[in-house]
C-alpha cells in the first residue's frame, strides 16, 4: 500500500483500467486539510487480509467484516441508509424503485463503523456484498445457530441465522483486469471528511444559490415568466432563482439549445428580471438534436448510438467539451444565465430503451457505454463548472446524475420519484459520499402535503419548487387538473401565507447555511448530514433514516403528510431546545413530539449560537444582511460566519471570519478578521 495522504492509502491490484473517476478529477487532493484531521483509528485489518483474484468476468476482492459493522455511503441512496447485510449494485439508474443500491448517483465508496472507508476507483457496475454471503462450508460446524425446525411458522421458516463468525465484504467488478483501491482510516466522520478532502473539498455555492428557487411551468412564454417575477415580488414570496424548463428550447428531446417561439425577446426578459434581483437557470440535457448549431462539429466526437435522435457527445474528449463549452459560454453564461439543470444524464432502465444509450456503445475516446453511464454526470458537471470558473462567477446548478469525487462540484441532485419519505432518506444518505440532494416539491396531494414537503426542502441543500407541470404556484392550487385550468383553491390565501413563512425562514438561515458550506470546503464535513456523523459512538442513531443535522447546531425531524401531526424522535445525549419555541428536551432518549401541519420539529443544541438574517427578497453583490443572534441553553458556544462577495471565486483569498462567542451570563461578543467586504451588520 502507498500512502497518498495522512490516513489515506492506495492499493493497486492488477492492471487498472484507463478510464477511472480519478483520471477525470479536476480538483486536487486537499493534502494540508487532510493533515489537520486526527486519525483516531488505524485500519482495522492488515493489507494481507485483503484478497483478490482475477476471474473470467473481472475482479473479485474480499475484505474482512465483523458482524456488528454498520455501513454507510454508496452515494445517493433513497431506499435505505445503513447498508450492513445488503447487496449494493452500484449502477446509475434514473428510477431507483427498489432497494438494490442503484440510483441517480451511485458511488463505489463506503464507510464502515469498524474504522475505515473504501473507495474503488472504477466506472464499472460494481457489486458490493456487505456481509451477505459466506464461503463454502463456513456454516458447516455452526450447529448451535443452524437448528432444525421445531414448528412450522413463517417466522421460523425465514429466521435466517446470522453467522456468528466474521463476515466478509465481497466486491465484484466486471470486465476489469485490475483496479485501484483507496482506504481511508478513522472514525465514521473522519473517514467521510477524509474522502471529501481527497475529492478536493466541498463546494461553496454563491449565496443566491442557497435562496429559494422556482421552476416555472414548461409551457410558459416570456410574458408568463415576467408575470411570475412580478407576482412573487408583489406577494412578498422571496424567490431568488427562476428555472426555465424544456419549453425554452426550440426542440427539447433531444435539445437544440436554441430559444423557442415562446421567447422571441428572451434577452429583454433576462435583463429585466435580473435587474429585479432574479437569477436564471436553464433546463437541458446532453443529447444533441440535428438542428442544434454545433451538431455537425460533434459528429466525430460522439458515441455510436443516439438518444432521442440526438448525438451523445463524448465528454471524455477535449473537442466535444470545447464545442459544448464555447457555445454555452457565449450564448448563455455571458448573457446572464447563472446555471443549468442537467437533466436525463442518468441511465434509464424502465423507460423505453431509446431513453438511454446501450452499455455496448463505443465512444471515440475508447470508453464503452457502461463506463460512460457512470462517468457522464460528473463529466457534464465538470464542463459547466469550467465555464463558470473562467468567467469568475460561481454557479449553483442541478444535475440528475453524479458519482465519485463530486464534493467540489456545486450541483444538487434531484429525482422524478416524488416519494417524500424516500426523499428524506436521500437528505440523510447523500452527505456520506460528497453529494448534495434536493427533496424538491413537485406533486403534492393537498395543501398540508405541500407544507410538509416544503418544510423538508427549506431544511435541505436546495430550496426548490419544481412547478414545471403547473402554470400556477402550488400554494394557489395543488390539484394539477384544476391548476392547469387556472382555478385557485379556496384555501389559497392560507397556503400562500404559510409557504411565505417557510421561504422567509430559509432566507433567515442563509448566512448560517453558508458557513456550513465554507466549512465543508475546508474540513470536508458535509453541511447536511446523518446523526451518525456527529454521534458516531451513539448506537441509537445508527439506523435513523428520518432525522438529520442541518449545519452544526440544528437537528431536523421532518414529517410526511401521511405521518400526521406527531412522531417519535431520538435526541442524542445533552439538552436540546425547540428552535421555534425554546422548549427544552433532554437528550439520550426518545420523545414523541407533536407538530401541526404548519410546524416542523427542529431542535438546537445546548450552547448553540445561531445567527439569523432579516429576510431579503434576493441576494446581490451589495446586500448587507441585518443579523440577529439567537442563543440556546446554558452552555457556552460560538459560531463563525464568513463574509466575502458571495458570488465570485474571490472568496478563496478575500474572506472575513466573523466569530460570535457566547460566554455564560454575558452578551455574545463579535470579532471580525480578514480582508473581505463587510456583509453582516449586527
What ranges make up the beta strands (E) of 186-325? 212-215, 239-244, 279-284
Nearer to ligand GAL, 283 or 517 (CB): 283
Whether the CA torsion 616, 622, 624, 625 is positive or negative: it is: positive
Smallest distance, Å, CB 343 to ligand GAL? 5
Nearest to 509 by CA among 426, 409, 681, 627: 627
Q: Does 283 bind ligand GAL (CB under 6 A)?
A: yes
Smallest distance, Å, CB 402 to ligand GAL? 14
Smallest distance, Å, CB 400 to ligand GAL? 6
Nearer to ligand GAL, 259 or 642 (CB): 259
Q: Does 217 bind ligand GAL (CB under 6 A)?
A: no
Smallest distance, Å, CB 498 to ligand GAL? 24
Contact 293, 349 (CB under 8 A): no
Nearer to ligand GAL, 376 or 658 (CB): 376
Nearer to ligand GAL, 397 or 547 (CB): 397
Nearer to ligand GAL, 252 or 371 (CB): 252
Sort residue 117 into left (φ over 0), alpha (ψ -120 to 50) or beta. Answer: beta
Nearer to ligand GAL, 310 or 527 (CB): 310
Smallest distance, Å, CB 319 to ligand GAL? 28
Q: Does 344 bind ligand GAL (CB under 6 A)?
A: yes
Distance in angstroms between the alpha carbons of the first and the last residue of the chain: 52
Whether the CA torsion 451, 452, 458, 464 is positive or negative: it is: negative
Give every CB contact of residue 50 below 8 A, 6+ residues apart in sequence. Answer: 11, 61, 62, 63, 181
Nearer to ligand GAL, 59 or 438 (CB): 438
* DSSP assigned state of 489: P
Whole-angstrom distance, CA of residue 570 vs CA of residue 575: 12
Nearest to 70 by CA among 591, 554, 531: 531
Smallest distance, Å, CB 619 to ligand GAL? 24
454 to 473: interface string for ligand GAL, x by CB under 6 A? ------------x-x-----
- Helix intervals (H) in 243-344: 266-275, 295-298, 318-331
What ranges make up the beta strands (E) of 579-635? 584-586, 589-594, 602-605, 609-613, 625-631
Q: Does 343 bind ligand GAL (CB under 6 A)?
A: yes
Nearer to ligand GAL, 185 or 245 (CB): 245
Q: Does 245 bind ligand GAL (CB under 6 A)?
A: yes
Three-state DSSP state, 292:
coil
Total number of residues binding ligand GAL (CB under 6 A)?
A: 8
Q: Does 402 bind ligand GAL (CB under 6 A)?
A: no
Q: Does 426 bind ligand GAL (CB under 6 A)?
A: no
Q: Does 617 bind ligand GAL (CB under 6 A)?
A: no
Q: Does 416 bind ligand GAL (CB under 6 A)?
A: yes
Smallest distance, Å, CB 466 to ligand GAL? 5
Contact 159, 54 (CB under 8 A): no
Binding interface with ligand GAL (CB under 6 A): 245-246, 283, 343-344, 416, 466, 468
Amino acid at each position: 500500500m502507498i500512502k497518498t495522504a495522512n490516513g489515506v492509502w492506495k492499493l493497486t491490484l492488477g492492471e487498472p483500467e484507463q478510464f477511472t473517476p480519478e483520471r477525470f478529477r479536476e480538483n486536487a487532493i486537499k493534502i494540508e486539510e487532510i493533515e489537520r484531521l486526527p486519525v483516531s483509528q488505524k485500519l482495522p485489518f492488515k493489507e494481507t487480509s485483503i484478497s483478490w483474484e482475477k476471474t473470467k468476468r473481472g475482479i473479485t476482492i474480499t475484505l474482512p467484516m465483523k458482524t456488528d459493522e454498520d455501513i454507510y455511503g454508496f452515494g445517493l441512496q433513497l431506499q435505505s441508509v445503513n447498508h450492513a447485510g445488503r447487496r449494493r449494485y452500484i449502477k446509475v439508474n434514473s428510477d431507483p424503485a427498489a432497494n438494490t443500491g442503484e440510483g441517480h448517483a451511485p458511488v463505489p465508496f463506503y464507510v464502515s463503523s469498524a474504522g475505515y472507508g473504501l473507495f474503488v476507483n472504477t466506472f464499472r457496475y460494481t457489486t458490493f456484498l456487505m456481509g451477505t454471503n459466506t464461503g463454502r462450508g463456513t456454516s458447516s460446524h455452526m450447529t448451535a445457530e443452524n437448528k432444525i425446525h421445531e414448528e412450522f411458522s413463517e417466522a421460523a421458516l425465514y429466521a435466517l441465522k446470522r453467522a456468528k463468525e466474521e463476515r466478509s465484504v465481497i466486491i465484484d467488478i466486471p470486465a476489469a483486469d485490475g483496479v485501484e483501491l483507496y482506504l481511508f482510516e478513522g472514525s465514521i466522520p473522519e473517514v467521510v471528511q477524509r474522502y471529501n478532502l481527497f475529492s478536493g473539498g466541498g463546494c461553496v455555492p454563491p449565496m443566491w444559490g442557497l435562496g429559494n428557487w422556482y421552476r416555472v411551468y414548461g409551457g410558459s412564454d416570456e410574458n408568463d415568466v415576467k408575470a411570475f417575477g412580478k407576482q412573487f415580488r408583489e406577494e412578498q414570496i422571496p424567490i431568488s432563482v427562476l428555472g426555465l424548463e424544456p419549453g425554452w428550447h426550440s426542440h427539447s428531446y433531444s435539445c437544440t439549445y436554441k430559444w423557442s417561439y415562446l421567447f422571441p425577446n428572451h434577452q429583454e426578459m433576462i435583463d429585466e428580471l435580473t435587474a429585479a434581483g432574479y437569477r436564471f437557470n436553464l433546463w437541458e440535457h446532453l443529447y444533441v438534436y440535428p438542428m442544434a448549431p454545433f451538431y455537425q462539429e460533434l459528429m466525430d466526437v460522439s458515441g455510436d448510438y443516439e438518444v432521442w435522435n440526438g448525438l451523445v457527445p463524448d465528454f471524455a474528449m477535449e473537442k466535444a467539451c470545447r464545442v459544448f463549452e464555447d457555445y454555452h459560454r457565449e450564448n448563455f453564461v455571458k448573457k446572464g444565465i447563472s446555471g443549468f439543470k442537467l437533466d436525463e444524464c442518468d441511465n434509464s432502465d424502465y423507460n423505453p430503451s431509446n431513453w438511454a444509450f446501450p452499455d455496448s456503445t463505443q465512444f471515440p475516446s475508447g470508453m464503452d457505454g457502461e463506463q460512460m453511464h457512470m462517468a457522464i454526470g460528473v463529466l457534464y458537471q465538470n464542463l459547466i463548472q469550467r465555464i463558470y470558473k473562467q468567467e469568475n462567477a460561481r454557479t449553483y446548478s442541478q444535475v440528475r446524475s453524479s458519482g465519485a469525487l463530486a464534493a467540489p462540484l456545486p450541483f444538487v441532485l434531484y429525482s422524478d420519484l416524488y416519494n417524500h419519505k424516500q426523499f428524506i432518506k436521500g437528505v440523510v444518505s447523500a452527505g456520506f459520499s460528497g453529494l448534495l440532494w434536493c427533496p424538491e416539491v413537485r406533486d403534492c396531494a393537498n395543501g398540508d402535503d405541500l407544507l410538509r414537503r416544503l418544510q423538508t426542502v427549506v431544511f435541505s441543500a436546495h430550496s426548490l419548487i419544481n412547478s414545471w407541470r403547473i402554470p400556477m404556484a402550488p400554494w394557489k392550487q395543488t390539484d394539477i387538473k384544476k391548476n392547469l385550468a387556472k382555478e385557485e383553491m379556496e384555501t389559497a390565501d392560507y397556503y400562500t401565507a404559510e409557504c411565505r413563512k417557510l421561504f422567509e425562514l430559509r432566507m433567515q438561515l442563509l448566512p448560517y447555511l453558508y458557513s456550513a458550506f465554507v466549512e465543508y470546503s475546508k474540513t470536508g464535513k458535509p453541511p447536511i448530514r446523518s446523526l451518525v456523523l456527529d454521534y458516531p459512538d451513539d448506537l441509537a442513531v445508527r439506523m435513523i433514516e428520518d432525522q438529520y443535522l442541518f449545519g452544526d447546531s440544528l437537528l431536523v425531524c421532518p414529517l410526511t403528510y401521511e405521518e400526521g401531526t406527531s412522531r417519535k424522535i431520538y435526541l442524542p445525549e445533552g439538552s436540546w431546545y425547540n428552535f421555534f419555541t425554546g422548549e427544552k428536551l433532554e437528550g439520550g432518549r426518545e420523545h414523541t413530539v407533536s407538530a401541526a401541519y404548519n410546524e416542523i420539529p427542529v431542535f438546537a443544541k445546548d450552547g448553540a449560537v445561531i445567527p439569523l438574517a432579516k429576510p431579503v427578497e434576493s441576494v446581490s453583490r451589495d446586500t448587507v444582511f441585518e443579523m440577529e443572534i439567537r442563543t440556546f441553553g446554558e452552555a457556552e458556544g460560538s459560531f463563525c460566519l464568513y463574509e466575502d462577495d458571495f458570488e465570485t471565486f474571490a472568496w478563496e483569498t478575500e474572506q472575513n471570519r466573523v466569530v460570535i462567542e457566547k460566554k455564560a451570563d454575558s452578551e455574545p461578543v463579535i470579532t471580525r478578521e480578514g480582508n473581505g467586504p463587510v456583509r453582516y451588520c449586527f
